[in-house]
Amino acid sequence: MRTNDVIEGDCIQVLGAMREGSVDLVFADPPFNIGYQYDVYDDRRAKADYLNWTEKWLAAAVRVLAPHGSMFLAIGDEFVAEHKVRLDALGLTMRNWIVWHYTFGVNCSKKFNRSHAHILYYVRDPKNYRFFPDAVRVPSARMTTYADRRANPVGKLPDDTWMLRPQESDKHFQPDSDTWHVPRVCGTFSERLGHPCQMPEAVLDRIIRVASEKGDLVLDPFAGSGTTLAVAKKLGRSYLGVELSEQYADGVRKRLQMIDFAEAATEPVKPRKRSVAKR
């Protein structure tokens, strides 16, 4: 199975052809079954059909997860409980039920506006898994607000609700927040690449940093706009995406190529050695 690419096809079939236990980190952002307009996927399936499909792709993803592997799954309110029950049944252990609180939420007319999604964080083995706290530490309120000498000078681990205000850098989270308050990638954002459900790079940056190390293989069974693969590439991980849509897969490849172009443009020019003429 090739890596550092996106494979077009059904994720259940593609994952079924992969070697068991070969993936260090899985990030999955599957369709929520709430009627999003994808180009080749029907996001309005009958509940039983959707959950039957969910069981199959979850089992396929867990099969390829390494003994030390971790899995993060982003899902909406409608089916988060059903996904948790199925991950528990597959033998994984939940480490966190994360809430990503975003701005630019869905405007509703007959219920409260939605401004969050769930990210379930599971590991294969709770006694043996990748977790690098120093890669994601943030200053604590004890340090920034109260000047408390008891504060850990290297910062604290983020809480399980992540927040980031839209006017701030996508590399920095609020020090006292436990909500992932990263804005959704809206149509007017420069990061937007034409996919209806694009994840912000800030969310994937934290996940990949804390749950993998350089050289690890990061898998996204629903590559979409390619955010997981793009961030993994920037952080020096191996990566593999699966995408049902030919159009979206082409977009991911172009996005990955742009990273190569950007890196090449920022590389320092090596001075040429001056030749000395022999007399």
The DSSP code sequence of the chain is: ---SEEEES-HHHHHHTSPTT-EEEEEE----SS--B-SS-BS---HHHHHHHHHHHHHHHHHHEEEEEEEEEEE-GGGHHHHHHHHHHTT-EEEEEEEEEEEEEE--SSSPPEEEEEEEEEES-TTS----GGGT-B--HHHHTS--TTS-TT-B---SEE---TTS-TT---TT--S--PPP--TTSTT--S-TTPPPHHHHHHHHHHH--TT-EEEESS-TT-HHHHHHHHTT-EEEEEES-HHHHHHHHHHHHHHHHHHHHHSPPPPPPPP----
Q: Is 259 exposed, middle or buried (0-12, 13-18, 19+ CB in 10 A)?
A: middle
| Mean pLDDT value of segment 174-181 | 43
Q: How far apart (Å, rounded) are the C-alpha atoms in residues 73 and 158?
A: 18
Q: How confident is the model at residue 276 (pLDDT cuts 50, 70, 90)?
A: low
| Mean pLDDT value of segment 104-127 | 88
Given a cut of 80, whether residue 174 has pLDDT beyond it is no
Task: For domain 5-200+210-266, say whether CATH 1.10.760.10 is its number.
Answer: no
Given a cut of 70, whether residue 198 has pLDDT beyond it is no
Q: How far apart (Å, rounded) are the C-alpha atoms in residues 13 and 139?
A: 44
Q: What is the pLDDT of residue 197?
A: 59
Q: How far apart (Å, rounded) are the C-alpha atoms in residues 183 and 230?
A: 18
Given a cut of 50, whether residue 170 has pLDDT beyond it is no
Tokens of 279: 């007399």
CA distances for 134 relative to 153, 184, 211, angstroms? 12, 26, 11
Give pLDDT tens digits for 232-246.
999 999 999 999 999
| Mean pLDDT value of segment 56-65 | 98
Give pLDDT tens digits for 61-86.
999 999 999 999 999 999 999 999 99
Neighbours of 119 (CB within 10 A): 22
Given a cut of 80, whether residue 17 has pLDDT beyond it is yes
Neighbours of 114 (CB within 10 A): 13
Amino acid at 80: V
Extents of the domains making up the chain: 5-200+210-266
Q: What is the pLDDT of residue 217?
A: 98
Q: Characterize 66-82 residue by residue with b for buried, 16 or more Cβ atoms within 10 angstroms of its Cβ, and e for exposed.
A: bebbbbbbbbbeebbee
Q: What is the pLDDT of residue 140?
A: 78
Number of residues in the chain: 279
Return the minimum-mean-pLDDT range out of 33-37, 93-97, 235-239. 33-37
Return the minimum-mean-pLDDT range out of 75-89, 101-115, 176-190, 219-233. 176-190
Q: What is the pLDDT of residue 275?
A: 54
Question: What's the first-to-final CA gap in the chain, in angstroms?
Answer: 57
Q: What is the pLDDT of residue 26?
A: 98
Mean confidence (pLDDT) of the chain:
85
Nearest residue to 30 via CA among 41, 22, 19 = 41
Q: Which residue has the higher pLDDT, 206 or 169?
A: 206
Q: How confident is the model at residue 185 (pLDDT cuts 50, 70, 90)?
A: very low
